[in-house]
Chain A
C-alpha cells in the first residue's frame, strides 16, 4: 500500500458574495516509500493548494476540502488540528519556494533548527545544538557551528534553502513535500539543491512529492509524474514514458514548448496558446478544450475519464489523445533530419512501437500542429 494515497481531493474557496472557486477539482495520485512523485502544471492549476491541503495549512475559514488523503492509513483531511501538528515536522515536512522569506529574519538559524528538535525529539541545550550542527553539515553547509549563530540574511540563497531542508529532515520525516524548492535560486544552485534532495531520498527512503512547473526538474528527479491542469490530473505516467510519449494534448504542448538548443536557428517558440483563464468547468467537459488543437464536440460531454490509450499505467484524461510519437513541436522540428535529435531529457526515440501501431493517428497530430502554426 502506498504511503500517501490521495483520492479525489477537492479544494474549494468560498467567499461571501462571491462565486465558489474550485482550486482543486478531484486530484488522485499515490506516493510510495522512497519514491519521487512530481506534480507538474502551470501557475493556477492547483499544485500549491494541493500541497497545502495535504499539510493541513489552508486557512480554516472559507475553504472546503473533499475526498480523501490517506497517509499511512490516516485521513489527513479529517485529522484533528492537534493530530496534524504532531504529524507535521515529524512524519511529514514541507520545503517552500522562497528560502529567504521562509526563515524568520530576526532569529538565528540555530534557534530555528533546534526548536524543531525540541518540539519533536525533545532535545535541549547542548545536545540539540550539536544535532543541529550535524544536520547542517549533512545538507552541505560548511562551518555549521558558526552558521548556527548567524541570521538568515547572512546566508546565501542556496545555503538558506539547505538550512530549510535541514529543518525539514531534522526528524527524518517519511514524506517530504517540496513546493518549487528551486524557483528562487540560480541555475547552478538549483542543480545542487536537487542533487541534495535526491541524496536524502536515496539514503533515507523518504518519499518526496515534488511540486514544480519546471520540466527540467521533473526530468532529473521524479520517478512518477502527474500533470495537473485546472485542478485535475490530466496525465500520469512514469517519467520516461511521459517524456517519450506525452499523450494528453496539454502535456504534449508543454513538452513541445521547450526551446531547444539543437533546433534550427530562428525557429519561433511554440507556446501552448491561450492562458489558464480560458477554461470551462470540468463538469461541462474537458477544461483544456478551449486551448486544445485536437478538440471535438465529444470533448464537451462531461468530464473525460482517465484512460490508458498507450500503455497500462500511463493514464490520460483525454477523448482525443495525441498518439503520435513525441511531443508535437519536437517532432516537427525533428522532421527534416529525424536522426539528428539526440536523446535529451525532453525526447527519446523508444516508444516508437506504439507510434507505428497507430500510424493513422499521427495524421491527427501533424494536422493539429499545422493548425497551431496558423494560429500563432
Chain B
C-alpha cells in the first residue's frame, strides 16, 4: 500500500513539474532555438569580435593609423613594400602606415556605416510599409488608394539596381561618409517597406483577425495590436541580413571613390580601393580589408539566417 501511495506521490510530483516548466513566451522560445543553432553561434561570435574591435580598435592599435613609419629601411629592399614582420603584423601600406592599425581603426567606420545605413533603411522603410499595410488592413477605398500610391513609388525605387541608385544619390549629395550612409540606407528602404507591407497583408487575412472582428475589436486596434506584432519577425531577420549588404555596399561605394574624400581616415572599402593600384607588388594589402568585409558580412548573414529559422512559425513546435 505504501509503495502505491509513493508511486502516486511521485507521479503527482512529476506531472506538477512539467506544468510549471511551460512558462516561455514566443521570444524566449525563439531565443532558445537560436542558442542551439550552430549557425547562429558562429555568426554571433564573428559579429561579437567585429563589434569589440570596432569599439576598442583605436585604443589598442599599436600605431596611429596616419603615422608614416618611414625610416629609410624600405629603400634597402627591392620591393617598396614591407611585408608582415614582428613590429608590423600585417606590414606597411603604400604610404608606410601600419596596415594592422589601419584595419583595427577602420572597423569602426565600417560598422558605423553599416548600422546607420540599416537603421535609416529600417526606420523609413518600416514606417512607409507599416503605414501602407495598416491602410490596407483598415480597408475601405481610401486605404487601398493610399497603399496603391505608396507601393508604386516603392516599386519604382525597387526597379533601379541598388548600386546604381546608391551611386546616383552619392553623386548628387557629394563625396562624404554621410553620403555613403544615406545612399546605402535609401537603397534598403523599399526592401523593408515591401517586406512589412507584405507580411501585414498576409496576416490581415488570418483567422485571428476575423475572430477579433467577430468580437467587435476596432480596426485600428486590429492593425496595430494584432497584425503589426505578427508581421515583425521577417523584418527583424531582414535587418540582420541588411547589415551585411550595407557593409558590402558601403565598401563598394568607397571603392568607387564616393566615400570619405579624406583617404587618411581608414575605412575598409577605401583601403581596398587604394590597394588596387599596388596589387602587383603587394596583393596582401587588398586581401586584408577584403577578408575583413567578407567575414563580417558572413557573420551577419549567418545570424540572420539562423534567426529566420528560429522565428519561422512553420518550424515552431
Contact = CB atoms under 8 A, between A and B. Distances in A.
Contact of A107 (B24, B214, B215, B226): B226
B26 A98 contact: no
B216 interface: yes
B225 interface: yes
A86 B216 contact: yes
A15 B229 CA distance: 33
B213 A107 contact: no
Contact of B217 (A96, A105, A116, A151): A116
- Give the interface residue-count category, chain B: 20 to 34
A206 interface: no
B85 interface: no
Contacts of A93: 214-215
Interface residues of A, number: 35
Contact of A85 (B23, B210, B218): B218
Given A101-B208, A102-B208, A151-B25, A107 B225 contact: yes
A164 interface: yes
Given A115-B221, A153-B316, A154-B22, A103 B214 contact: no
Most-contacted residue by chain B among A98, A105, A164 (CB, 10 A): A105
A111 B207 CA distance: 17
Interface string A290-325: 000000000000000000000000000000000000
B210 A96 contact: yes
A115 B214 contact: no
Interface in A54-89: 55, 57, 60, 85-89
Contacts of A260: none
A55 B214 contact: yes
Contacts of B212: 104, 112
B211 interface: yes
Given A101-B208, A106-B229, A107-B226, A89 B215 contact: yes
Contacts, number: 80
A150 B24 CA distance: 8
A161 to B, nearest CB: 12
A150 B25 CA distance: 7
Contacts of A168: 215
A106 B207 contact: no
Interface string B259-272: 00000000000000
Interface string B212-240: 11111111010001100110000000000
A153 B28 CA distance: 13
Contacts of B218: 85, 119
Best-surrounded residue of B25, B208, B214, B313 (most CB of chain A within 10 A):
B214
B206 interface: yes
B48 interface: no
A170 B210 CA distance: 17
A372 interface: no
Given A102-B208, A104-B226, A105-B313, A57 B213 contact: yes
B208 A115 contact: no
Contact of B139 (A60, A88, A98): A60
A90 B216 contact: yes
B211 A96 contact: yes
Given A96-B207, A101-B207, A115-B221, A85 B216 contact: yes
Q: Which of B208, B213, B316 has the most CB of A within 10 A?
A: B208
B50 to A, nearest CB: 31
A94 interface: yes
Interface in B198-213: 206-208, 210-213
B201 to A, nearest CB: 14
B207 A98 contact: yes
Contacts of B214: 55, 57, 88-89, 93-94, 96
A286 interface: no
Contacts of B316: 153
A91 B207 CA distance: 21
A167 interface: yes
A57 B25 CA distance: 31
Interface in A356-372: none
A89 B207 contact: no
Contacts of A87: 216
Contacts of B217: 89, 115-116, 119
Nearest to B144: A61
A185 to B, nearest CB: 15
A22 interface: no
Nearest to B215: A89
Nearest to A55: B214
A98 B208 CA distance: 10
Contacts of A153: 26, 316
A120 interface: yes
Nearest to A103: B208
24 contacts: A85-B219, A86-B216, A88-B214, A89-B216, A89-B217, A94-B211, A96-B210, A96-B211, A98-B207, A101-B206, A103-B208, A104-B226, A105-B26, A105-B230, A106-B229, A106-B230, A107-B226, A115-B217, A115-B221, A116-B217, A150-B23, A151-B26, A153-B316, A168-B215
Interface of A: 55, 57, 60, 85-90, 93-94, 96, 98, 101-108, 111-112, 115-116, 119-120, 150-151, 153-154, 164, 167-168, 170
Given A90-B216, A104-B212, A151-B26, 19 more contacts: A88-B213, A88-B214, A88-B216, A89-B215, A93-B214, A93-B215, A96-B210, A101-B207, A102-B210, A104-B229, A107-B225, A107-B226, A115-B221, A119-B215, A119-B216, A119-B218, A120-B216, A167-B215, A168-B215
A-B pairs, 7 with minimum CB distance: A89-B216, A88-B216, A101-B207, A94-B214, A89-B215, A102-B211, A104-B208
